[in-house]
Structure 1
């Protein structure tokens, strides 16, 4: 089978097309013929050797797949062969087939396209777990989304609105802020500009924001924490900036606020049934037309390096997706 392989740790340009034996579904596993694979920030960490886990070389990155069931391993009763499913894995998705633990798969509703299905599990799963389960976001509260134009940030805008919150997006360029407004943010601010906290204070009538969703880290983290309201919740989602901030804990004391870690992958591993229910909710929203993943562009499998480079350079607004057997296209309808 075709796969895009990392032979040595390094930048995306080091990925090479290669051939691997088609995997076999072992006990408790299903074999998927991959149709689409989401492109995500952890993929860049994996190929650079900076992720928590280090698969043996060579390996195919790609942790968010949609495909059809091709075989069932020992002890697996279903779903039937040919069923379209999605799954959150750690690596292996940049390939034509992958063996996945049966407990990780979730059925894809009729009418949801593979590219959309491959956009849901990681970004949208992370966001729903963060905002609903960890941040307890309530209708009428104000949500600040940092790095709002990225795939996870766009998901946070959409799900924040679905949960009834007022969403303020923070992004670095006028083009990105326009994209955030188009996705439903009530306001968009430039969080790289001097005095951006003053603008945020004006938008909240001096009160501050109830929840901060931060997948970026870096220099904007402390000003965002200082902008929380009394009993606010600061969600630590990731460090796309490459810098882990050192936050002054006295702010948590003075504001009565909570700094909350969000480790979606570990939640999915430790609480698989809760995660399957979470993903089922997301796919139900997509099928009902209430949620439409914003896909910037799709790429053929052979252009995985270009997709990862676009992601790493922060040129994407929304999700990037690899298509294994279909022609690439610009962002289109999610269903």
Structure 2
């Protein structure tokens, strides 16, 4: 792909030193890592700001590592070095990888088995918007809720990183989509074919029930908190609630585990009721520790499906803004502002 090799470059990382405001992020310089057996080194072309980093800087992400660490949930870049036992033809290829942490860096060392090739013609920033967001949306829609044509679904935060992908995938599947968002995003949602509801309304659930009086097939809820009960009650018989976050508790103090444990308790209780409805708390990493090979296979297959949907035009890359890695604090502020559609992307 051209450009200097890893041996002529230095490592640049953005470090989260503790519970800080975005301006408290630090830049650290070091030596580019060397690929060990079964590993590759990737030169970052695009990484992103997700809700996870917003929680991590507050110390609120469920299983974040101890401070200090390098945040960054996913990366798209070019393989610049391969270790022993790795297919050497990977060198020069553009790949995507899901990390959880470590992505806000100029170079990343990962297991070769964890990378997914990005199709020719898909730009790095476009692909980046669809790694964690695309995997999350695809698996919730098709593996959990199993949405089919003619069904009605509710997507909370329909203008957000995951929400905007969910909306497009659901529409491509032939579903009717009701999406919550602030009023300034409603016109754009209508143009996509979404029926918008203002999440600031006094009774959002009543507004949704007015649009779908018989209930809905699926609700995708990243908010959590007390509103999760309303999401459950919106379901028609046989419907599915997929909870995948607790944005309502982002700024709370106290235990970071409690909101998730409370959600898990509700999910267990609801699934024990004899009403034919289903509830899930979705985490993209679920099952990795017990079945790493299956996890990697599903991730590779599902992300390949997402990239194929992009190439078909079923979905578009929602890039809210592109900023260089050195302006990570500004990028984090922008992502947290709630004023953007899609994902804020960091580039070298």
Q: Same fold (TM over 0.5)?
A: yes
| Aligned twin of 2:4 | none
- Per the TM alignment, residue 26 of structure 1 is displaced from its structure 2 partner at its CA by 1.9
What is the count of residue pairs matched by the alignment?
A: 321
- Per the TM alignment, residue 293 of structure 1 is displaced from its structure 2 partner at its CA by 1.7
> What is the CA–CA distance in structure 2 between the aligned matches of 1:106 and 1:196, rounded to whole Å?
39
- Per the TM alignment, residue 74 of structure 1 is displaced from its structure 2 partner at its CA by 2.0
More off after superposition, 211-220 vs 283-292: 283-292
Is residue 240–residue 278 contact of structure 2 (8 Å, CA) maintained in 1? Answer: yes
| Aligned twin of 2:326 | 302
TM-score, L = length of structure 2: 0.86
Large movers: runs of 4+ above 3 Å: 52-58, 243-255, 267-270
| Aligned twin of 1:331 | none
| Aligned twin of 2:190 | 181
| Aligned twin of 2:202 | 194
- Per the TM alignment, residue 150 of structure 1 is displaced from its structure 2 partner at its CA by 1.1
Alignment of 1:104-115 (within 5 A): 104-115=114-125
Is residue 39–residue 64 contact of structure 1 (8 Å, CA) maintained in 2? Answer: no
Distance 1:251 1:262, change over 3 A: closer
Question: What secondary structure sits across from 1:143 in the alignment?
Answer: strand
| Aligned twin of 1:327 | none
Flag structure 1 segments of 5+ consecutive residues without an equivalent. 325-335
> What is the CA–CA distance in structure 1 between the aligned matches of 2:248 and 2:241, rounded to whole Å?
17
Is residue 47–residue 103 contact of structure 2 (8 Å, CA) maintained in 1? Answer: yes
Flag structure 2 segments of 5+ consecutive residues without an equivalent. 1-10, 251-258
Distance 1:54 1:196, change over 3 A: closer
More off after superposition, 82-91 vs 308-317: 308-317
| Aligned twin of 2:310 | 286
Is residue 79–residue 95 contact of structure 2 (8 Å, CA) maintained in 1? Answer: yes
Map Cα deviations across residues 178-236 of structure 1 (whole Å, 9 max, x no partner). 33333431x001233123333222212x1011100011112322122111111110001
Is 1:313 the counterpart of 2:321 in the alignment?
Answer: no
Distance 1:143 1:78, change over 3 A: farther
Is residue 12–residue 44 contact of structure 1 (8 Å, CA) maintained in 2? Answer: no
Is residue 307–residue 320 contact of structure 1 (8 Å, CA) maintained in 2? Answer: yes
Question: What secondary structure sits across from 1:120 in the alignment?
Answer: coil
Is 1:159 the counterpart of 2:183 in the alignment?
Answer: no
Distance 1:91 1:170, change over 3 A: same
- Per the TM alignment, residue 267 of structure 1 is displaced from its structure 2 partner at its CA by 4.7
Is 1:35 the counterpart of 2:45 in the alignment?
Answer: yes
Question: What secondary structure sits across from 2:76 in the alignment?
Answer: strand
| Aligned twin of 1:207 | 214
> What is the CA–CA distance in structure 2 between the aligned matches of 1:160 and 1:87, rounded to whole Å?
24
Is residue 229–residue 255 contact of structure 1 (8 Å, CA) maintained in 2? Answer: no
Question: What secondary structure sits across from 1:34 in the alignment?
Answer: strand
Distance 1:184 1:86, change over 3 A: farther
- Per the TM alignment, residue 252 of structure 1 is displaced from its structure 2 partner at its CA by 7.4
Alignment of 1:186-335 (within 5 A): 187-204=195-212, 206-242=213-249, 244=259, 247=266, 249=269, 253=273, 255-267=275-287, 270=292, 271-324=295-348
| Aligned twin of 2:80 | 70
- CA RMSD, 1 decimal: 2.1
- Per the TM alignment, residue 114 of structure 1 is displaced from its structure 2 partner at its CA by 0.6
> What is the CA–CA distance in structure 2 between the aligned matches of 1:40 and 1:78, rounded to whole Å?
32
> What is the CA–CA distance in structure 2 between the aligned matches of 1:321 and 1:6, rounded to whole Å?
17
Is residue 165–residue 315 contact of structure 2 (8 Å, CA) maintained in 1? Answer: no
Is residue 97–residue 116 contact of structure 2 (8 Å, CA) maintained in 1? Answer: yes
> What is the CA–CA distance in structure 1 between the aligned matches of 2:151 and 2:88, rounded to whole Å?
42
Question: What secondary structure sits across from 2:121 in the alignment?
Answer: coil
Distance 1:250 1:128, change over 3 A: closer
More off after superposition, 233-242 vs 50-59: 50-59
